[in-house]
Amino acid sequence: MRPVESSPIRDLLALTAHPEMISFAGGLPAPELFDLDGWRRAFDRALTGPDARRNLQYAPTEGNLALRGLVAERLTARGVPTGAEDVLVTTGSQQALTVVAATLLGPGAVVAVEEPTYLAALQCFRMAGARPVPVTTDEDGMVPGSLAEVLERERPSLVYLVPNFANPTGRTLTAARRLAVTELAAAHGVWVVDDDPYGELRYRGEPLSPLAGEGVVSLGSLSKICAPGLRLGWLRAPAALMPRLVVAKQAADLHTSTVDQAAAAIYLAETDLEAHLATLRTEYRTRRDAMIAALPGAVPDGTRWTDPDGGMFIWLHLPGAVDTATLLRGALREQVAFVPGAPFFATTPDPSTMRLSFTTNTPDQIVEGMRRLARALGE
């Protein structure tokens, strides 16, 4: 028997479906920015012509070869030389995480994580029977000195982190720390899982190289840069690990939707994704700026918040002994939603924290939502 614990985000999303609600809660991309025409054409193409019937048939577990090649090209362009054979297509990067956990973690295993970290990753590790152990994390991401200490003391099986614009904090691991983290993990023979759904959504500064090395498994996804409803993610893994990951993926769902993969291969081959990303970055930058500008007027004096260079999230610490889960009720009465921070902690939750997402609402909606938040927090 496994724990029967639902996602607080999921339960909360149920509350925020009301049309008058301004939700900063979800980690949803903006649907009005989906390239709807491009995807409709891609699906039509996938179901037309000589490959059409093959695109409705069973397919190899590893994924569509053209799609794997296109993903490999993008990873190579970002500084990690990758071949199609290094890429396994997954049903969203959530499944990549589950496949990695099923492969690398047995009951009682330990996973070193940022504190706070992505809560669905915590749930996934716990369902695999593993124990997440926090590593101290500051403005520059995971602290190597703390990681060294955790590696010695806890002997984890893997280190999990979101190096770019982390969920929930929006923080980015510095270049020097990227090197330090991978070197420390390699010295202890421990896997590093680099979960990078947001890396291409940078609004300020220069991109940093992804974590790399023989002990690194990288996870990526089309969810934030194209559309999450496609459930198309991938993992990049060293050749020695790939056969075991493929077996776990096969047990999970045989393979990812053939037609979705075929449409994605067509879409990525024929679309100027860089132009689409430029549009996303411009729009999301404006939304982040609107939220950052509105924050000082919306939160109590003494509140601290992160100022992310990219991604979707701002992380807040309210002053005093407040519990944001309690404050959420007042916020929902004002028709504004956020995610209380406690579930993102591996061990000791800080109830004064909360996560705001700036991607789903227009700047005007953000301004209005922050007004409502001010009323809720000022009550």
Return residues touching its own copies (CB under 8 A): 1-7, 10, 26, 28-29, 31-32, 34, 36, 39-40, 43-44, 47-48, 52-59, 61, 90-92, 94-95, 98, 102-104, 106-107, 120, 123-124, 127, 129, 223, 227-231, 243-244, 246-248, 250-260
Choice between 243 and 378, CB closer to its own copies: 243
Choice between 104 and 192, CB closer to its own copies: 104
Choice between 146 and 250, CB closer to its own copies: 250
Distances (CA, A) of 272 to 15, 36, 189: 37, 14, 40
The least CB distance from residue 95 to its own copies, in Å, is 4
The separation between CA 252 and the C-alpha centre of its own chain, rounded to angstroms, equals 20
The least CB distance from residue 98 to its own copies, in Å, is 6
The least CB distance from residue 150 to its own copies, in Å, is 21
> Which residue, among 79, 48, 51, has the nearest Cα to 67 in the 3D structure?
51
Residue corresponding to tokens 């679309």: 271
The separation between CA 61 and the C-alpha centre of its own chain, rounded to angstroms, equals 23
The least CB distance from residue 248 to its own copies, in Å, is 7
The least CB distance from residue 331 to its own copies, in Å, is 21
The least CB distance from residue 44 to its own copies, in Å, is 6
Residue corresponding to tokens 């300020």: 204
Query: Which residues does residue 191 pair with via DSSP β-bridges, in sequence order?
Result: 158
Q: Is 117 helix (H, G, I), strand (E, B) or coil?
A: coil
Choice between 21 and 252, CB closer to its own copies: 252
Query: Which residues does residue 378 pair with via DSSP β-bridges, in sequence order?
Result: none
Q: Which residues contact 231 (CB under 8 A, 6 or more apart)?
A: 91, 92, 95, 223, 256, 257, 260
Handedness of CA 58, 60, 65, 69 (dihedral sign): positive
Choice between 212 and 226, CB closer to its own copies: 226
Q: H helices of 128-272, where?
A: 144-154, 175-187, 242-253, 258-270
Choice between 17 and 321, CB closer to its own copies: 17
